[in-house]
Amino acid sequence: MAPVQRIDGKAFAARMTTRIADEVRSLFDEAGLKPGLAVVLVGHDPASQVYVGAKHKATIAAGMKSFEHRLPAETSEDVLLGLIAQLNADPNVHGILVQLPLPAHLDASAVIAAIDPSKNVDGFHVVNAGQLATGQDALVPCTPLGCLFLLQDHLGDLSGLHAVIVGRSNIVGKPMAQLLLGANCTVTIAHSGSRDLPALCRTADILIAAVGRPEMIRGDWIKPGATVIDVGINRIPDGDSTRLVGDVAFAEAGHAGAITPVPGGVGPMTIACLLQNTLTAFRRKLPAKA
């Protein structure tokens, strides 16, 4: 059997970012306007600080305007909702993202619901979710969108393939299922409590691991030749230090057809798709050409 291929999300994301930057430049030449992305971080979660910093860098690299709002951990919901109302009304802001997780005293659903759906570049608003579920043009959550791009790039047409998604979150599992249905896959959504999960996973041509548990998916859960997309980003102790692992036991997956590594797989695609969604939201606000 051929050795497993590594699906290089980092390289794909870099190519996407270059293409987006080219589009941003030519739109600026045509219309004299730039897309603007506002990212709101509440508190000091170390991983969130890294991701928000990476989003700022990527936004600038793509030629967009970046508006960063770093608020103290004790920020009240009223203050946060006030900032969101201000960003909703700001014509220079085309995309708004509130970094998750939020501190425990804040209600993430209420905060997401306050973001104008046409600027909700995370695609988390119920309007965005409803549009995706009913096959309308939607702003689609960045992580599953990135997974779909990697799958289509690697496999081409996905029609008729059986995709098993392990994980049922609103952010990854459910929108991933909608995207794969839209690409004509047969889709099963499973979770850590599904009966005989290993056997279910072994039926997958495409296996999406989005369960948030380090290396839970073992090698013998993977059908030979399957394409495995590992969404998990888990930091585990490693001697005196730590290291990142996915939800799949990568070292046991040598018989898969292809697999995304962690790091360097899905993670960078999340940020590239955020830029893509910001560009989409911006384009939708441009005046129609005569």
Which residues are known binding-site members?
A: 167-169, 233
Number of residues that bind ligand LMY7XDAE (CB under 6 A): 18
**Binding to ligand LMY7XDAE, residues 136-195 (CB under 6 A):** 142-143
Q: Give the Cα separation of 204 and 217 in Å (integer).
A: 13
- Catalytic annotation on 276? no
* Amino acid, single-letter form, for residue 201: C
* Residue whose CB is less far from ligand LMY7XDAE, 25 or 235: 235
* Residue whose CB is less far from ligand LMY7XDAE, 100 or 189: 100
Q: Report residue 34 as tokens.
A: 């730039």
Among 84, 129, 204, 233, which residue interacts with ligand LMY7XDAE (rule: CB under 6 A)?
Answer: 233
* Residue whose CB is less far from ligand LMY7XDAE, 81 or 200: 81
Q: Give the Cα separation of 92 and 216 in Å (integer).
A: 44
CB of 32 to ligand LMY7XDAE, least distance (A): 30
Q: Which of 119, 122, 131, 174 is catalytic?
A: 122
CB of 39 to ligand LMY7XDAE, least distance (A): 8
CB of 268 to ligand LMY7XDAE, least distance (A): 5
Which residue is at the shortest CB distance from ligand LMY7XDAE? 267
**Binding to ligand LMY7XDAE, residues 34-63 (CB under 6 A):** 50-51
User: How many C-alpha atoms does 262 have within 13 Å on its Cβ side?
Assistant: 24
- Catalytic annotation on 230? no
3-state secondary structure 43-63: CCCHHHHHHHHHHHHHHHHCC
Q: Which of 55, 119, 174, 223 is catalytic?
A: 55
* Residue whose CB is less far from ligand LMY7XDAE, 196 or 240: 240
Cα distances (angstroms) measured from residue 32 to each of 17, 29, 35, 153: 20, 6, 10, 33
- Catalytic annotation on 157? no
If DSSP codes are grouped into helix, strand and coil, which group holds residue 193?
A: coil
**Binding to ligand LMY7XDAE, residues 260-289 (CB under 6 A):** 262-264, 267-268, 270-271
Beta strand spans in the chain (E): 5-6, 36-42, 65-71, 95-98, 162-166, 186-190, 206-209, 227-230, 234-238, 241-245, 258-259
Q: Give the Cα separation of 220 and 255 in Å (integer).
A: 9
Look at strands 234-238 and 241-245 and give their pairing. Answer: antiparallel
Instruction: Say if residues 10 and 266 touch (Cβ distance below 8 Å).
Output: no
Q: Could you list the active site residues? A: 55, 99, 122
Interface with ligand LMY7XDAE by CB under 6 A: which residues? 50-51, 97-100, 122, 142-143, 233, 244, 262-264, 267-268, 270-271
